[in-house]
Chain A
Amino acid sequence: MRHRTFWILVSLAAIAVAGACNSRSDVPPVSIVPEGGGAAANAVGATGTSTVSGSITFEGEPPAPETIRMNSDPVCVKEATNTETEYYVVGDGGGLGNVFVYVKEGLSGSYSASGETIVLDQQGCRYTPHVFGVQVGQTVQITNSDPTLHNIHATPAVNAEFNTGQPIQGMSMERTFDQVEVAPDGSPMVPFKCDVHGWMNAYVGVLDHPYFVTTGPDGAFDIGNLPAGNYVIAAWHEMLGEQTQNVTVGDGATANVSFTFTAG
């Protein structure tokens, strides 16, 4: 019996060593170059003069923000400028912020990624912005403005997971996403979290076109330069999920779409 145990453990060790040798490299590769156009969408995506605008409203009394206790890291206590949860950012007129509004259906052709770099900053032990969008292949620059350590851990369902440390203030790195990923089937957009500071989280929506926007506390949004057509517009909120509406917009026209979210 003890001989068998011994050999089982020895084989386990051998397997583990073999596994470890493959995985010693410091950081798993995450940044994959986008493939250009998909097979079905080889035509260049059109732009136009149409606009979809509207507002997101929260109906009822939003849950009060909670104060985050940051005392597991004294640096955060010192650096923090905002210690309240950002789940419900509701403006004076009932506008709902941090809602990701985007064109879900109706576009055709492929849109090349914007050359503009999106910055995700870690400051005061929070992510800024909290909710944002990015195009497939567009560069996200992740920076650490804090004199403490953060790990940036993205947990996508479709794209490649990554977890990278930024132990030093001023560190910066760039990442791209190579697959469309926006709240598929009721799951969240791509979550970012810091496992050092459990309260730090952010969400990114990855799209293959530039027609998206995140609302501010006034809840207003404006998606311009669309070609005329029929669209499904979606609005996603981290606690309240996604709503969609159909809209038709003509050349040079502005179509109005409004969403109302309620608690629960």
Chain B
Amino acid sequence: MRWLHFYLRFVVAASLLLIVAGGLVTSTGSGLAVPDWPNTYGTFMFAFPFSQMVGGIFYEHGHRLIASTVGLLTIGLAVWLARIEPRRWVRRLGWTALAAVVTQGLLGGITVLYFLPAPVSISHAGLAQIFFALVVSLTLFTSPGWRTGPGGYGARSDPVLARLALAAPAVIYGQILIGATMRHTGAGLAIPDFPLAFGHLVPPQWTTGIAIHFAHRVGAVAVTAMVLATAGHLLFHHPGRRELTRPALLLSALVLVQVGLGAWTVLSGRQVAVNTAHVAVGAAAFAASVVLALRVHRERFADAGADVRPASSDAAEPIAGSEARA
């Protein structure tokens, strides 16, 4: 189980790299630089020469190569879980991750063959986040800290925390979908100034692009408020619960960085590196919010209290990996 957990950390890192690669495809406008799929210019994907990965092909074909690697890693993950994981729901989650990554590959292919229709590209972006959250969750579920069971009173004794912790990933995911819609409809610069919109608090004129863009800014305010409220609540009411305050503080930091990157994206005219970092930090924030929610609701899981091994000193240091990696 220990090796599986480390393997999962590796899968998390590879998945984040994959999200960066996918973000680069859109940020550089390279989504159609390889017109065919699953082949690359008529050549079997893995046989396509590196020397021909020029211009936009570098991003698109590179994304496909990394994606295939993550797909293989996920097959290994699902099989490994099926062989040694005693909890049925964790094994099922492994197969779910595999189904997600396969679907993700198909969505990627469909969007290329149909010239990047926005609904398909947005689904591809949205499913990427779900897959990433799945592998981060699996990393959490296989960690020593998780398996020693709830560390103390949990969600049931603090309904406010319970709701905040569940609402945060929901609001963040909604915000990510709005962001994906903005990216894939080319509305990233629909409002060219920041923090104002055309010099006003609310845009003086409206188009679909401006509406999507403005919704993403409103969403940013909502996410920031929600996340800071959650972190504040934890620090005020449960300052000793480090396995909760740490992901909450990490999440707060990520969200603040994310707002800065969003502003920078607009002000830099969608500079590729900034724009792509904005995608990656968004994924990290979503994953951190999922980890926090899962830990707050730890006692609701079927394996709560199942592992009766005495908590080692290692286990008392709860799972540094998953949220730091995320």
Chain A residues within 8 Å of B, Cβ to Cβ: 2, 5-6, 9-10, 12-13, 16-17, 19-20, 23, 26-28, 72-76, 148-149, 151, 153, 155, 161, 163-165, 167, 194-198
Task: List chain A residues, Cβ under 8 A from B99.
Answer: 6, 9-10, 13
Task: List chain A residues, Cβ under 8 A from B41.
Answer: 149, 165, 167
Whether A20 lies near B52 (C-beta < 8 A) is: no
Among candidates B55, B58, B92, residue contacting A2 with C-beta atoms closer than 8 Å: B92
Given the known interface contacts A2-B93, A10-B99, the answer about A153 and B35 at a Cβ–Cβ threshold of 8 Å is yes
Whether B114 lies near A149 (C-beta < 8 A) is: no
Given the known interface contacts A16-B103, A163-B115, the answer about A151 and B34 at a Cβ–Cβ threshold of 8 Å is yes
Is B315 interfacial (CB 8 A cutoff)?
no
Chain B residues within 8 Å of A, Cβ to Cβ: 28-36, 39, 41-43, 52, 54-58, 60, 89, 92-93, 95-96, 99-100, 102-103, 106-107, 109-110, 113-115, 127, 130
Whether A9 lies near B107 (C-beta < 8 A) is: no
Whether A75 lies near B54 (C-beta < 8 A) is: yes
Task: List chain B residues, Cβ under 8 A from A17.
Answer: 106
Whether B31 lies near A23 (C-beta < 8 A) is: no
Task: List chain B residues, Cβ under 8 A from A13.
Answer: 99, 102-103, 106
Min Cβ gap B85→A in Å is 14
A74 to B31, alpha carbons, bound, how many Å? 21
Min Cβ gap B296→A in Å is 14
Most buried by A among B31, B34, B89, B106: B106
Given the known interface contacts A5-B96, A9-B99, A16-B107, the answer about A198 and B42 at a Cβ–Cβ threshold of 8 Å is no
Whether B103 lies near A72 (C-beta < 8 A) is: no
Whether B33 lies near A20 (C-beta < 8 A) is: no
Whether B113 lies near A23 (C-beta < 8 A) is: yes
**6 shortest A-B CB distances, which residue pairs?**
A73-B54, A167-B41, A196-B55, A195-B33, A16-B106, A13-B103
Whether A153 lies near B32 (C-beta < 8 A) is: yes
Given the known interface contacts A163-B115, A195-B31, the answer about A148 and B54 at a Cβ–Cβ threshold of 8 Å is yes
Whether A164 lies near B106 (C-beta < 8 A) is: no
Task: List chain B residues, Cβ under 8 A from A10.
Answer: 99
Whether B35 lies near A165 (C-beta < 8 A) is: yes
Min Cβ gap A79→B in Å is 12
Among candidates B29, B56, B110, B127, residue contacting A23 with C-beta atoms closer than 8 Å: B110
Task: List chain B residues, Cβ under 8 A from A151.
Answer: 32-35
Among candidates A19, A27, A167, residue contacting B106 with C-beta atoms closer than 8 Å: A19
Min Cβ gap A18→B in Å is 10
- Apart from A148-B54, A195-B30: 19 A-B pairs, beta carbons within 8 A: A6-B99, A9-B130, A16-B106, A19-B106, A23-B114, A26-B39, A72-B54, A73-B54, A151-B35, A153-B32, A165-B36, A165-B41, A167-B42, A167-B52, A194-B55, A195-B29, A195-B56, A195-B60, A197-B56
A195 to B116, alpha carbons, bound, how many Å? 12
A165 to B39, alpha carbons, bound, how many Å? 11
Whether A73 lies near B35 (C-beta < 8 A) is: no
Task: List chain A residues, Cβ under 8 A from B39.
Answer: 26
A9 to B23, alpha carbons, bound, how many Å? 22
Task: List chain B residues, Cβ under 8 A from A27.
Answer: 35-36
Among candidates B56, B100, B102, B127, residue contacting A196 with C-beta atoms closer than 8 Å: B56
Task: List chain A residues, Cβ under 8 A from B52.
Answer: 148-149, 167
